[in-house]
Structure 1
Amino acid sequence: MPDTRDVYAAEDLFAGWLDDASRTPGEPLRVRVGSSLQTFEPEVEPRFSDPAAAQAYVDRVLAHLTATGSSYDDGTGLDRAAVPVVVRPRRGRSRAHYEYDELPLRGVMAIPPREVGGAWSLRAAVVLHELAHHLCPAEGHGREFRTTFLRLLEDIGQPVQADLLHTAYRLTGLDTGVDGEDRTLLRIGRLLRQAERTTNTAERDAFFAKAQALATRHQIALAVARATAGAEEQREDPAYETVLIGESGKRSLARYVRLVLEIARANDVRVAIYTSNTRVTLYGFPSDLAVVKALYASLVTQMVADGDAHLRSGAHKADQRQVWDARRRRWEVRPVHGSTARAAFYEAWADHVGERLAAARAQARATAVAADAPVADGPTSTELALRAKEVEVVDYFGRMQREHDIRGTWKGTASAGHAAPGSRDAGTEAAARARLGTEQAIDRRR
Structure 2
Amino acid sequence: MPDTHEVYAAEDLFAGWLDEAARRPGEPLRIQVGGALQAFEPETEPRFTDPAHVQAFVDKVLAHLAATGSAYDDGAGRDLAGVPVVVRARRGHTRAHYEYDELPARGVMAIPPREVGGAWSLRAAVVLHEVAHHLAGPVGHGPEFRTTFLRLLEDLGMPVLADLLHTAYRLHGLDTGVDGEDRTLLRIGRLLRQAERTDNAAEREAFFAKAQSLATRHQIALAVARATAGAEEKREEPTWETVLIGESGKRSLARYVRLVLEIARANDVRVAIYTSNTRVTLYGFPSDIAVVQALYATLVTQMVADGDAHLRSGAHKADQREVWNSRRRRWELKPVHGSTARAAFYEAWADHIGERLAAARTSARAAAVAADTPVAEGPTSTELAIRAREVEVVDYFGRMQRDHGIRGTWKGTAHAGHAAPGSREAGTRAAARASLGTERALTGGG
Number of the residue aligned with 2:429: 429
Partner amino acid, structure 1, of 2:216: T
Q: Which moved more, 1:105-114 or 1:271-280?
A: 105-114
Q: Which moved more, 1:343-352 or 1:299-308?
A: 299-308
**CA 1:203/1:30 → structure 2, altered by over 3 Å: closer, same or farther?**
closer
Q: 1:196–1:298: 8 Å Cα contact kept in structure 2?
A: no
Partner amino acid, structure 2, of 1:298: T
Q: 2:245–2:257: 8 Å Cα contact kept in structure 1?
A: yes
Q: Report deviation, 1:408.
A: 0.8
CA distance in 1, matches of 2:205, 2:11: 24
Number of the residue aligned with 1:305: 305
Q: Which moved more, 1:386-395 or 1:247-256?
A: 247-256
Q: 1:263–1:354: 8 Å Cα contact kept in structure 2?
A: yes
Q: Which moved more, 1:63-72 or 1:261-270?
A: 63-72
Number of the residue aligned with 2:439: none
Deviations 1:234-264 (A, max 9, x none): 4210001111112222222111111111111
Alignment of 1:140-155 (within 5 A): 140-155=140-155
Number of the residue aligned with 1:16: 16
Partner amino acid, structure 2, of 1:320: Q
Number of the residue aligned with 1:396: 396
Q: Which moved more, 1:5-14 or 1:28-37?
A: 28-37
CA distance in 2, matches of 1:3, 1:165: 15
Number of the residue aligned with 1:379: 379
Deviations 1:304-354 (A, max 9, x none): 232233223322221111122344443221111222112111111111111
CA distance in 1, matches of 2:88, 2:299: 43
Deviations 1:145-195 (A, max 9, x none): 111111111122211111111111111121223223321111112222343
Q: Is 1:166 matched with 2:200?
A: no
Q: Is 1:365 matched with 2:358?
A: no
Q: 2:204–2:433: 8 Å Cα contact kept in structure 1?
A: no
Number of the residue aligned with 2:444: none
Partner amino acid, structure 1, of 2:243: V
Number of the residue aligned with 2:324: 324
Partner amino acid, structure 1, of 2:305: A
Partner amino acid, structure 2, of 1:95: R
Number of the residue aligned with 2:5: 5
Q: Report deviation, 1:100.
A: 1.2
CA distance in 2, matches of 1:200, 1:64: 15
Q: Give the aligned length.
A: 436
Q: Report deviation, 1:286.
A: 0.1
Q: Classify the secondary structure of the residue corresponding to 1:240.
A: strand
Number of the residue aligned with 1:443: none
Number of the residue aligned with 1:348: 348
Alignment of 1:90-239 (within 5 A): 90-198=90-198, 204=204, 207-239=207-239
CA distance in 2, matches of 1:119, 1:325: 81
CA distance in 2, matches of 1:169, 1:351: 39
Number of the residue aligned with 1:415: 415
**CA 1:192/1:360 → structure 2, altered by over 3 Å: closer, same or farther?**
same
Q: Which moved more, 1:422-431 or 1:323-332?
A: 323-332
Number of the residue aligned with 2:88: 88
CA distance in 1, matches of 2:178, 2:139: 20
**CA 1:249/1:53 → structure 2, altered by over 3 Å: closer, same or farther?**
farther
Alignment of 1:42-61 (within 5 A): 42-61=42-61
CA distance in 2, matches of 1:106, 1:370: 47
Partner amino acid, structure 2, of 1:128: L
Q: Report deviation, 1:217.
A: 0.3
Q: Report deviation, 1:303.
A: 2.1
Q: Classify the secondary structure of the residue corresponding to 2:232.
A: helix
Q: Classify the secondary structure of the residue corresponding to 1:231.
A: coil
Q: 1:316–1:336: 8 Å Cα contact kept in structure 2?
A: yes
Q: 1:191–1:206: 8 Å Cα contact kept in structure 2?
A: no
Q: 1:226–1:234: 8 Å Cα contact kept in structure 2?
A: no
Q: 1:192–1:295: 8 Å Cα contact kept in structure 2?
A: no
* Structure 2 unmatched runs, 5+: 437-446
**CA 1:227/1:202 → structure 2, altered by over 3 Å: closer, same or farther?**
closer
**CA 1:257/1:381 → structure 2, altered by over 3 Å: closer, same or farther?**
same
CA distance in 2, matches of 1:219, 1:3: 30
Q: Which moved more, 1:287-296 or 1:368-377?
A: 368-377
CA distance in 2, matches of 1:362, 1:43: 20
TM-score (norm 2): 0.93
CA distance in 2, matches of 1:353, 1:127: 37
**CA 1:173/1:205 → structure 2, altered by over 3 Å: closer, same or farther?**
farther
